[in-house]
């Protein structure tokens, strides 16, 4: 297994542990805390959450609501990268209705099993989950209207491949709206800390790199529509999400956990990165093909 495969395996194992014991936290960038406190503070309305199976809410690991204020319409095809236990694919399923289609992609068997259980509880036959990696999507080219993702792309060891795959699967004119963690100016001791990778810190790219990567993949109208900058208390809990203590995984809740993370103290990490890590909602569109220009007559 190469280095990229090892990173993916470590991430998958961490999230499998977290979904098996959601009350313990761990292995998540914005893990489940106290029956969905995190998802409520990440932009989900009480009405949205009440309409979903409780298991989908409790096992949410996102940093935002990629469907909030989106223009997803009835009949659209929506693809969710890293669909986890299914909170966003179920919300998307309600938006697109039976005439639409929602596809979730996840690489972790425990997450897929949990998502399928939640889909079955919802009764939405037009929602499905497929096993795969987001760098090589098991989805046909030019087949989806929307790509969404919630705090997952930052975990990929090959982000340019993810951006290229988004461009490939979108229909011409199709759109992307993802919530993700971005970071700028992180100290080397944080960037090189493997434990902090699963907490969505060490592997996050800068907002500038994110935008440039999407444009380089061929997407247009790339813009950051919303930012949530984490304060010191949130960052301390985010850094501590690998500790497995009661407040772990509470990056958005304001709880604070204490203890070492990969040899570093969570509080020290938070002080070193405050103002350098935030959640960004990023939008892009796949351009329509250019019309063929009239053939020029030869002289």
246 belongs to a structural domain: yes
Total count of residues recorded for the chain: 299
133 belongs to a structural domain: yes
- What sign has the CA pseudo-torsion 271, 272, 276, 281? negative
297 belongs to a structural domain: no
DSSP line for 117-179: HHHHHHT-TTEEEEE-BTTB-SS-TT-EEEEEEES-GGG-S-HHHHHHHHHHHEEEEEEEEEE
Which of 70, 79, 69, 73 has the alpha carbon at shortest distance from 102? 79
259 belongs to a structural domain: yes
Q: Which two tokens stand for residue 122?
A: 């919802």
Residue 16 burial (C-beta neighbours within 10 Å; 0-12, 13-18, 19+): middle
108 belongs to a structural domain: yes
137 belongs to a structural domain: yes
Q: Rounded CA gap, 29 and 137, in Å?
A: 22
Would you state the pLDDT for residue 58?
A: 46
Would you state the pLDDT for residue 55?
A: 54
Residue in this structure with the two tokens 């940093």, named with its chain if needed: 63
Q: Which helix (H) or strand (E) holds 232?
A: helix 232-239
Residue 95 burial (C-beta neighbours within 10 Å; 0-12, 13-18, 19+): middle
163 belongs to a structural domain: yes
292 belongs to a structural domain: no
Tens digits of pLDDT across the chain (299 residues): 788 878 788 777 766 666 666 544 444 455 433 333 343 445 555 565 566 555 554 444 455 566 765 789 999 999 999 998 888 999 999 999 999 999 999 999 999 999 999 999 999 999 999 999 999 999 999 999 999 998 899 999 999 999 999 999 999 999 999 999 999 999 998 888 877 887 788 899 999 999 999 999 999 999 999 998 888 888 887 777 644 433 333 333 333 334 455 556 788 888 899 999 999 999 999 999 887 545 444 43
pTM: 0.80
Spell out the residues 6+ positions from residue 9 whose beta carbon is closer than 8 angstroms to its own.
1
- Label residue 123 left, alpha or beta by phi (over 0 means left) and psi (-120 to 50 means alpha): left
> Based on the structure, what is the number of domains in the chain?
1
Would you state the pLDDT for residue 257?
A: 38
Name the residue range of residue 172's domain.
3-285
CATH of the domain at 166: 3.40.50.150
Q: Rounded CA gap, 20 and 108, in Å?
A: 12
């Amino acid at each position: 297994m190469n280095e990229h495969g090892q990173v993916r395996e470590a991430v998958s194992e961490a999230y499998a542990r977290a979904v098996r014991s959601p009350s313990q936290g761990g292995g998540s960038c914005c893990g489940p805390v106290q029956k969905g406190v995190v998802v409520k503070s990440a932009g989900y309305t009480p009405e949205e959450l009440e309409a979903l199976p409780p298991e989908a809410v409790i096992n949410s690991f996102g940093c935002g609501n990629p469907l909030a204020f989106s223009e997803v319409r009835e009949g659209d095809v929506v693809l969710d990268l890293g669909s986890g236990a299914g909170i966003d694919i179920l919300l998307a399923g309600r938006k697109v209705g039976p005439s639409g289609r929602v596809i979730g992609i996840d690489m972790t068997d425990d997450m897929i099993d949990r998502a399928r259980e939640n889909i079955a509880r919802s009764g939405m036959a037009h929602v499905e989950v497929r096993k795969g990696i987001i760098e090589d999507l098991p989805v046909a080219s030019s087949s989806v209207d929307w790509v969404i993702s919630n705090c997952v792309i930052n975990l990929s060891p090959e982000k340019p491949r993810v951006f290229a795959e988004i461009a490939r699967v979108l229909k011409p004119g199709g759109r992307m709206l993802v919530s993700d963690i971005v970071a700028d100016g992180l100290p080397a001791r944080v960037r090189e800390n493997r434990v902090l990778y699963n907490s969505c810190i060490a592997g996050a790219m800068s907002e500038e790199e994110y935008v440039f990567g999407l444009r380089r993949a061929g997407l247009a109208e790339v813009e950051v529509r919303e930012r949530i900058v984490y304060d010191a208390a949130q960052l301390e809990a985010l850094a501590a999400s690998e500790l497995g203590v009661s407040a772990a995984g509470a990056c958005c809740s304001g709880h604070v956990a204490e203890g070492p993370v990969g040899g570093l103290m969570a509080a020290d990490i938070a002080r070193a990165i405050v103002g350098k890590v935030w959640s960004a909602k990023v939008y892009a569109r796949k351009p329509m093909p250019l019309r063929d220009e009239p053939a020029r007559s030869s002289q």
